[in-house]
């Protein structure tokens, strides 16, 4: 039996039941993740989160308080699916549930694995790092990939109804209340987690690979100041991309917070940083903060002024992959697809099987 989902724009799409997970199972996964976090903090104490070595990419201790904000936002993501039907039935959320459940499992597994590695138990530091890297991949390709959009481009079924509300572009942030609600209840809980897990994975990998003796003869070695500057700029580029194309406030905010933590750790005389502090790294972190902030402002500006021109056409209803597609509703089509005054606005639409459906 097919599961029918809907989006905040009114899209109705048949979702393959093999990817459908009940929202109450998502709640159970979230509770398990939080419980493992509490257990690790009580039983293992600092061993649950402490890495093998302290590297230059490490932010100060205050920075890690962001976990409280992330868990709160994820609670909104989970409980909104229980109590809000339009969130529960949104096919973007439905398709993201398997990946979200998996990341909950990996999050708890990382805490246990890292603690056991510190205690020389049934784990290793590289195993913990590998779990975090897998978590990044599941979060991006299994969750963020689906939820981080204001309108729904997915056509998992041959039956599609589109009643899209007007917006300047696909990822618009200056939108009606329901879109802002979607961002705070679904999108930002995932993007903030993704940004921080990427930072955590970078810290874990560098703490596993750092060799202070080798660093004395090779300044570009993993874990050193040069490596930290490179990771900071790479993380900033990802945040700038998401800021410009998706106006992703959550991703940008967490990235800026992590960079600010690195800056504080390199400049605060009372920080616990055990090595020689690096002014160049501190300056690079400040520069990256400025670049990410500018990227977010640019993204908001492009969205506000509708930088991506579009034309409204009538809705698409695909009834069979072999049949023609009648145009009847409201879907954005770039102006470059528009013909000069003729009726041939669109010549074909890709079907699920890869073939082109004539219009």
pLDDT digits (tens, 9 = 90+) for 167-193: 444 445 555 677 889 999 999 999 999
Query: Which helix (H) or strand (E) element contains residue 349?
Result: strand 348-350
133, burial (CB in 10 Å: exposed 0-12, middle 13-18, buried 19+): middle
**Residue 326 within any structural domain of the chain:** no
pLDDT of residue 176: 67
355 or 55, higher pLDDT: 55
Instruction: Read off the pLDDT of each residue in 234-260 and give the average, rounded to a whole number.
Output: 96
Tally of domains in the chain: 1
pLDDT band at 342 (very low <50, low <70, confident <90, very high): very low
Share of the chain above pLDDT 70, in %: 70
**Residue 346 within any structural domain of the chain:** no
Give the predicted TM-score (pTM) of the model: 0.76
Rounded distance between C-alpha atoms, residue 290 and residue 212, angstroms: 31
Choose the weakest-confidence range: 65-69, 158-162, 289-293.
Answer: 158-162
**Residue 236 within any structural domain of the chain:** yes
3 state SS of 334: strand
pLDDT of residue 150: 67
Task: Give the closest residue to 266 by CA, choosing from 4, 56, 51.
Answer: 56
**Residue 207 within any structural domain of the chain:** yes
pLDDT one-digit tens code per residue, 121-145: 777 888 988 999 999 998 999 999 9
**Residue 128 within any structural domain of the chain:** yes
Is 34:111 a contact under the CB 8 Å cutoff? no
**Residue 345 within any structural domain of the chain:** no
Rounded (5°) CA angle 357-318-96: 105
**Residue 138 within any structural domain of the chain:** yes
148, burial (CB in 10 Å: exposed 0-12, middle 13-18, buried 19+): buried
**Residue 30 within any structural domain of the chain:** yes
Question: Is it the case that residue 13 has pLDDT exceeding 50?
Answer: no
pLDDT band at 93 (very low <50, low <70, confident <90, very high): very high
Question: Is it the case that residue 319 has pLDDT exceeding 60?
Answer: no
Question: CB within 8 A of 49, min separation 6: which ones?
Answer: 40, 64, 111, 114
Question: Is it the case that residue 339 has pLDDT exceeding 50?
Answer: no
Domain that holds residue 212: 3-304
> Encoding tokens for residue 345?
């606005």
């Amino acid at each position: 039996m097919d599961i029918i989902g809907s989006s905040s724009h009114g899209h109705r799409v048949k979702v393959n039941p093999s990817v459908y997970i009940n929202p109450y199972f998502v709640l159970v996964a979230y509770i398990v993740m939080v419980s493992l976090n509490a257990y690790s903090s009580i039983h293992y104490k600092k061993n649950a989160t402490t890495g093998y070595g302290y590297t230059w990419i490490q932010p100060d201790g205050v920075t890690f308080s962001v976990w409280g904000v992330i868990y709160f936002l994820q609670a909104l993501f989970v409980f909104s699916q229980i109590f809000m039907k339009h969130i529960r039935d949104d096919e973007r959320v439905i398709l993201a549930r398997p990946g979200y459940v998996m990341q909950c499992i990996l999050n708890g597994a990382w805490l246990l694995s890292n603690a056991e590695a510190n205690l020389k138990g049934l784990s290793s530091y590289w195993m913990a790092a590998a779990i975090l890297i897998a978590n990044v991949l599941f979060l991006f390709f299994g969750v963020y990939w689906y939820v981080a959009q204001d309108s729904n481009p997915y056509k998992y079924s041959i039956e599609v109804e589109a009643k899209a509300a007007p917006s300047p572009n696909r990822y618009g942030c200056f939108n009606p209340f329901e879109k802002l609600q979607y961002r705070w209840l679904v999108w930002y809980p995932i993007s903030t987690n993704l940004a921080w897990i990427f930072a955590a994975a970078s810290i874990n990998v560098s703490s596993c690979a750092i060799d202070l003796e080798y660093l004395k003869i090779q300044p570009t070695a993993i874990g050193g100041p040069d490596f930290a500057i490179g990771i900071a700029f790479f993380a900033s580029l990802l945040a700038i991309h998401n800021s410009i194309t998706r106006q992703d406030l959550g991703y940008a905010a967490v990235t800026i917070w992590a960079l600010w933590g690195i800056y504080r750790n390199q400049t605060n005389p009372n920080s616990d940083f055990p090595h020689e502090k690096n002014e160049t790294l501190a300056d690079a972190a400040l520069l990256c903060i400025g670049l990410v902030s500018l990227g977010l402002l640019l993204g908001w500006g492009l969205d506000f002024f509708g930088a991506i021109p579009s034309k409204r056409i009538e809705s698409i209803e695909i009834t069979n992959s072999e049949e023609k597609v009648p145009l009847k509703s409201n879907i954005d089509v770039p102006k470059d697809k528009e013909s000069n005054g003729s009726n041939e606005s669109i010549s074909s639409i890709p079907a699920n099987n890869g073939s082109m459906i004539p219009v």
